Amino acid sequence: MRKKIVAGNWKMNLSFHEAEALIHNLMDELEEAKPTAEVIICPSFPFIEMATDYMEEHLFKVGAQNISPFDSGAYTGEVSAAMLASMDVTHCILGHSERRKYFNEDDKMLTIKVNQALANKLIPIFCVGESLPERESGKHLEVVRRQVRHGLFHLDTDEFAKVIIAYEPVWAIGTGMTATPEQAKDMHSYIRTLIAERYGDEVAKATMVLYGGSCNSENALEIFSQEGVDGGLIGGASLKAEEFISICKQASIQDV
Ligand code: 13P
């Protein structure tokens, strides 16, 4: 077994001082807990520099929540993958359901962003997941299949091998309605089947697939112990140092 990954998606939360306090608390707690899981924090853009300034590779890495589809130039308000890479940012969340829904990011746009990330050596954390009506009408596999294929399967094997996938059922995000361990296990296994069909068994086995959606210190251990669940993408619970570290520790129990 390999190290699990726990990534905190702070979304659009916290003031500068709150973000600073959270980073300090995280550093203290990580120093003490020394989780073996790989820890990534994904703050909003204004706090990225602070996070990378404090970053110690052995404690945590820093990811962005979005990147521009463009290289550089006259695109007011955009932040490029190259800018982030030049600040020691290592990861980038892409395809999050909130960006698909509120910012109309479709498969075509996400393909461009995935390419941008990889061209700038950022590791995409590529999110997929069905809505509640899609789950209830039995379309969840079809939806996730489309998202994985359209967003990622244009990549060659070497490029694809760098990508992390996060299965985040939309109905579980911020609702307290976590997927059951079986639902998570089944979807992770399905995602791996898709990868195996396209890139072969070795790549499918090696791909990190995280679970996200109302994951917290109460349910992390059970979810992370499911076969094929390589860690978590954590929203609300990543804004409290103690809670987040507890999740990181639970991911670490599953290592090796
Ligand atoms: P919650 O953990 O708040 O449900 O959010 C999950 C998520 O969207 C992480 O990207």
Q: Per residue in 202-249, pLDDT tens?
A: 999 999 999 999 999 999 999 999 999 999 999 999 999 999 999 999
Helix 181-199 to helix 140-152 angle (10° resolution) is: 40
Please state the domain extents for the chain.
Answer: 5-253
- pLDDT, tens only, 155-171: 999 999 999 999 999 99
Least confident of 24-28, 55-59, 146-150, 245-249: 55-59
Q: In CATH terms, is domain 5-253 a member of 3.30.2270.10?
A: no
Per annotation, catalytic residue among 91, 96, 140, 188 = 96
Annotation says 168 is catalytic: yes
- pLDDT, tens only, 86-95: 999 999 999 9
Whether 256 has a pLDDT exceeding 50, the answer reads no
Is 170's C-beta closer than 6 angstroms to any atom of ligand 1?
no
Beta bridge partners of 40: 7, 61
The predicted structure's pLDDT at residue 2:
82
- Which band of pLDDT confidence, cut at 50, 70 and 90, is reported for residue 197? very high
The predicted structure's pLDDT at residue 203:
97
Locus of tokens 């998570």: 184
Are 215 and 177 in contact by the 8 Å Cβ rule? The answer is no
Beta bridge partners of 186: none
- pLDDT, tens only, 61-106: 999 999 999 999 999 999 999 999 999 999 999 999 999 999 999 9
Is 8's C-beta closer than 6 angstroms to any atom of ligand 1?
no
DSSP assignments along 85-140, one per residue: HTTT--EEEES-HHHHHHS---HHHHHHHHHHHHHTTPEEEEEE---HHHHHTT-H
Is 212's C-beta closer than 6 angstroms to any atom of ligand 1?
yes
Q: Which helix H or strand E contains 41, and what residues bound it?
A: strand 38-42
118-133: average pLDDT:
98
Angular region, 104: left φ>0, alpha ψ -120 to 50, beta rest = left
Largest CA distance in the chain: 48
Whether 1 has a pLDDT exceeding 80, the answer reads no
Main-chain phi, psi angles of 66, to 5 degrees: -170, 160
Average pLDDT over the chain, rounded to an integer: 95
Beta bridge partners of 93: 125
Q: How many residues does the chain have?
A: 256
β-pairing verdict for 164-167 and 123-128: parallel
What does the DSSP 8-state code read for residue 240? S
CA 212–ligand 1 middle distance (angstroms): 6
